[in-house]
Amino acid sequence: MKVAIASGKGGTGKTTISTNLSAYLAEKRSVVLADLDVEEPNAKLFLDIELAKSEIKYKMIPEWNENCSLCGLCQEVCNFNAVIKLNTQIMVLPELCHSCYACSELCPENSLKMIPQKIGIMNIYKSDGLDFIESKMDIGQEQAVPLITKTKDYIKNNFDNKVLAIFDSPPGTSCPVIEVIKDCDLILLVTEPTPFGLHDLKLAIETAKQLHKPCAVIINRAEQGNLLINKFCAAENIDIIAEIPNDRQIATLYSGGQLLYNELPEVKKQLQNIEDYIDLFNYGGSYA
């Protein structure tokens, strides 16, 4: 089962939920946590876990050679304007290339050979019960999606179906988030009870609906009497499965890079609620 921890905006507590939930569940079952916020991953800050290996990741881009009739077919078939025909040469813009191979495969003179370009690094960490995968883009790279895709492929090829995969997603609703959640079984949306939190939660829920993905909500920094998110979710028939309290001690532990659930019983209780929901969903039960 693949579960994405996502949010409509940054700073709502995705990484807090992802790391604490993964460590908590790893005490009982096999879990792989992937930090797929590849532009600036930070889940490792909260995990005491050893590096097992690192892998450099590449994407394939076309390289032009002069054995070319300048027919312009490559420019016509490129949907991303990454290949441009000039008077005397073909210009390739690697930053725009999506590695679709159309220009290379359809070139009648085989003038656009695909070559690897380094896009980032993937680190694999291991401990008892918990495997952690962290990928980070190289500075100057503009597309997060290729590295996210390669990280997900690694998990698919190296872990069996009995392992629970938890994806710490990038914030927002743009292409990197779509790539993370498009083949997940369940989306857990972390929000906060503020007007900004509600606004961006609505965007995230609409994104999940467009992809036909079931989702549930976790309220972080919840305050007694603040029912802004509760009222919206009740009207939309969306489950709220956990509410993490707005507690100064949580902020203190978080700022020190510590996990919360062993220190705060209420947080552990909320993680149990999330686990119960995941298990019910996985086995086709209902949530009340």
Tell me the backbone φ, ψ of residue 51, rounded to 5 degrees.
Answer: -70, 125
User: Of 119, 80, 121, nearest to 100 (Cα)?
Assistant: 80
d(CA 97, CA 81): 8
Fill in the amino acid letter for 213: K
Q: Which of 25, 9, 41 is nearest to 278 (CA)?
A: 25
Contact predicate 213/187, CB 8 Å = yes
Query: Where is 176: in which H helix or E strand?
Result: helix 175-181
Residue with tokens 């909260």: 46
Q: CB of 122 within 8 A of CB of 55?
A: yes
Residue 280, amino acid: L
Do residues 198 and 228 lie in contact, with contact meaning Cβ atoms separated by under 8 Å?
yes
pTM: 0.92
42-77, pLDDT tens digit by residue?
Answer: 999 999 999 999 999 999 999 999 999 999 999 999
Tens-digit pLDDT profile for residues 250-273: 999 999 999 999 999 999 999 999
When pLDDT is cut at 50, 70 and 90, the band that residue 282 belongs to is: confident
pLDDT over 90, % of the chain: 93
> pLDDT higher for 285 or 151?
151
To the nearest 10 degrees (0 to 180), the angle between helices 265-282 and 14-26 is 80
| Tens of pLDDT, residues 167-204 | 999 999 999 999 999 999 999 999 999 999 999 999 99
